[in-house]
Structure 1
Amino acid sequence: MTNPESTRMFAEAAEAGAAVRRQLERNAEAVRELGARLRATRPRGVLTCARGSSDHAATFGRYLIETRLGLLTTSVSPSIASVYGVETDYSDMLALGISQSGKSPDILAAMRAAKESGARTVAMVNVEDSPLAAESDTLVPLRAGPEISVAATKSYIAALAAQLHLVCEWAGDESLAAGLAALPDRLEAAWAADWSPLVERLHGARGLYVIGRGLGFGVAQEAALKFKETCGLHAEAFSAAEVRHGPMALVGPGFPLLVFRQDDATADGVDDLVADVLARGGEVLVSGGKVPGAIHLPHPAAGPAIEPILQIQAFYRAANALSIARGFDPDRPPSLAKVTETI
């Protein structure tokens, strides 16, 4: 069996703390200026444009912007511009394009359409000489460095950190600023967290739900994607509220749940869900809470806006190990490529 520590996925995910430290240092002035401009102009809303892991990062950003700034945020359907060719009024909006490569045709088309209809465009992209970076009004580099493994890891975390940085400056949020400053060190601590129970419990699993709510829902989406693409394990992400509407029919013995919980207003509802699933005889792994009977997955202590970033970092190490344990190569998922040429 391959040593889990020999994969590119392992090496690249392990660099997340250093990548975020580099990003925060080098982007400080540009993000400060962008935050000041956004405070002065006050966009009427925010559009996010992304696919795959980047879209899951945008989910985190949506909850962050709406809870910290009270500003309506919505995900654009790229096909509206790239396939249907429909013109939409995006005047006085902020359009946020998130991408590792900055090359996907549908994302480019959607961001061009937003700009042409009056939106201010911001690219959060890892490849700084990409078309998305060149065509946007403002570039916020992710600075994750080269990412060769097909499975995005450090670039996803860098996208979460970049949005956190922007909202921190835009809102002038001092508590968020303190958490952001400590994030690189906490990411390194999260990488060392022991999530081996996840590998042991899911080694023979056939499917599961991944649960989050609010700020934690975007990392639940990302974890479900990584289970599918690196572990050959069917996983679906649900909000802790939505899973009760139909999907709960599958929950019980032999159908586990992985739950991402943060210590905020969503915590009690998540705990109630975990207790209900345990009462049905289901198996639950929980990061961020200690409900009696659930399997605890640790991460460093942090505020609720930081917790999901630490949780997904700990998860990446476990997912890499689980992939190998299930006989897969996490660096080369079948039928997938690094840049997806969707139109």
Structure 2
Amino acid sequence: MNVPEVSLMLREANQSPAAVDRLLREEAKGIVEVGAWLRDNPPALVTMAARGSSDHAATFFKYLMEVTSGIPVASIGPSVASLYKQRLRLPSAVHFTVSQSGASPDIVALQAAAKAGGARTVAIVNVPDSPVAREADLTIQLGAGPEKSVAATKSFITSAAALAAIVSCAAGDAGFDRGLAALPEALSRTSMIDLSEPQEILASARSLFTCGRGPGLGIAMEAALKCKETSGLHAEAFSTAEIMHGPLRLVEHGFPVLGFVQDDMSFDANCNAMQKLTALGARTITFSSREMPGEQTPGAPVPLPSTGHGLLDPLVALLPAYRLIEAVTRQRGLDPDQPANLRKVTETL
């Protein structure tokens, strides 16, 4: 295969800092309005509809929303509406649809069912003239620009940033606001990170785990998907709590584990998990803005710039993770932009 020196995936990922900065400026009015829905008249439930990478952005949002407000967030299977034709009962709920294209029939059907069931609907999309955007009560346009690579990068980061901005408005937390304002610059500063050692670890791997807790779990899920769809690497994502159960059986000498360890209340538990994995022989790659305790950080640490707010830092970690996976894909002789069996827009029922 003719492998490109610079892939569309890498170019588009590198556009993420500017895309996030533009989103936070140009969509501020809609973001503030949705935040007010959640803050001034808190719903009993927030529901989500998303597929693929967008579903991982929804998981990132789920933890942010639940740990800052206590409002439960549930992902509804789109087939409940599209295939099973079930009516939904969502009085007073707020329903979010997250989608790059806004075109898949199943999420369109679910948004319609949520609205019919009493929910206010919010579309977070990169294609403004899409069925989801046209039918939602309020639309947040990502404005990330065309994304031609099959692997979503900048659309994921901007989706997650939009959702984080909504949480920030709902929470009314000045520290969260400052962290969000610092996000584009923190993303930009990741361009200086040396990924040569992590790349060496993954280049010869056949399988790996990714892990995180809280908002880091959604980022771990997204990293695992990118390993599969671009590098052809079998990757599974787990909570760093869950990995200590059945999945631990697979960890042996040389087994790679990517850990997303943010500086929040999960830090100590995450550090303990990564240290235990290292002691079992895993080759750990730890993305964190804070040095792990002990004489030295085990494995291959990836030091990150911080937004100043730990709940947001997993999103900063994802950009170097994208770069790492793209480099590993090319080293393995594969084209990140043309993964086997996949296409950009997948329309499911």
Q: TM-score range by the shorter chain?
A: over 0.9
The separation in 2 between residues aligned to 1:37 and 1:243, in whole angstroms, is: 36
The residue identity in structure 1 corresponding to 2:168 is C
The answer (yes or no) to whether the contact 1:252–1:283 under 8 Å persists in 2 is no
Give SS of 1:48's match: strand
Residues 192, 314 of structure 1: 8 Å contact kept:
no
Deviation of 1:30 after TM superposition, in Å, equals 2.1
- 1:191, distance to aligned residue in structure 2 (A): 3.0
Partner of 1:133: 133
User: What residue in structure 1 maps to residue 302 of structure 2?
Assistant: 297
Q: Residues 28-58 of structure 1, C-alpha deviation per residue, up to 9 Å, x if partnerless?
A: 1222223223323221110011000000000
1:186 Cα offset (Å) = 1.1
Question: What is the deviation of 1:199?
Answer: 1.1
Q: How many residue pairs are counted as aligned between the two chains?
A: 342
Residues 41-50 or 154-163, more deviating: 41-50
Judged with a 3 Å threshold, the aligned counterparts in structure 2 of structure 1 residues 35 and 292 are, in CA distance, closer, same or farther, namely closer
Deviations 1:98-155 (A, max 9, x none): 0000001111111111011000000000000110000100001111111000000000
For residues 219-274 of structure 1, the C-alpha deviation after alignment (integer angstroms, 9 at most, x for no partner) is 00000000000001000000001111211001011321111111111111111111
- 5+ long unaligned stretches in structure 2: none
1:328 aligns with 2:325: no
* Structure 1 partner of 2:228: 228
Bigger drift between 192-201 and 120-129 goes to: 192-201
Partner of 2:63: 63
Looking at structure 2, the residues matched to 280 and 62 of structure 1 have their Cα atoms a distance apart, in angstroms, of: 32
Give the TM-score, by structure 1 length.
Answer: 0.97
Structure 2 matches for 1:255-270, cutoff 5 A? 255-270=255-270
Give the letter aligned to residue 82 of structure 1. Answer: S
In the aligned structure 2, how far is the partner of 1:277 from the partner of 1:305? Answer: 23
Given that residues 36 and 170 in structure 1 are in contact (C-alpha distance below 8 angstroms), is that contact kept between their aligned partners in structure 2? Answer: yes
1:102 is matched with which residue?
102
Measure the CA separation in 2 of the matches of 1:100 and 1:307.
Answer: 22
Residue type at the aligned position of 1:317: R
Question: Residues 235-314 of structure 1 correspond to what in structure 2 (within 5 A)?
Answer: 235-288=235-288, 289-290=291-292, 292-302=297-307, 303-314=309-320
Following TM superposition, the consecutive aligned residue runs of length 4 or more in structure 1 with deviations greater than 3 angstroms are 1-4, 289-292
Shift of 1:90: 1.1
- The residue matched to 2:27 in structure 1 has which SS? helix
- Tell me by how many angstroms 1:3 deviates: 5.3
Question: Whole-Å Cα distance in 2 between the matches of residues 21 and 244 of structure 1?
Answer: 38
Preserved CA contact (<8 Å) 1:194 1:298:
no
Paired position in structure 2 for 1:339: 345
The equivalent of 1:171 in structure 2 is: 171
Give the whole-Å Cα distance in 2 for the aligned partners of 1:292 and 1:33.
43
Aligned to 1:316: 322
Q: CA RMSD in A?
A: 1.3
- Aligned equivalents of 1:202 and 1:11: distance in 2? 21
2: CA distance, partners of 1:193 / 1:92 = 45
The amino acid across from 2:302 in the alignment is L
Answer whether contact 1:103 1:131 (CA < 8 A) is retained. Answer: yes
Aligned 1:78-157 pairs, distance under 5 A: 78-157=78-157
- Sequence identity percentage: 45
Preserved contact between residue 94 and residue 120 of structure 2 (Cα < 8 Å): yes
- 8 Å contact kept, 2:60–2:160: yes
Q: For 2:326, what is the secondary structure of its paired residue? A: helix
Gaps of 5+ in 1: none
In the alignment, the residues of structure 2 paired with residue 230 and residue 63 of structure 1 have an alpha-carbon distance, to the nearest angstrom, of 27
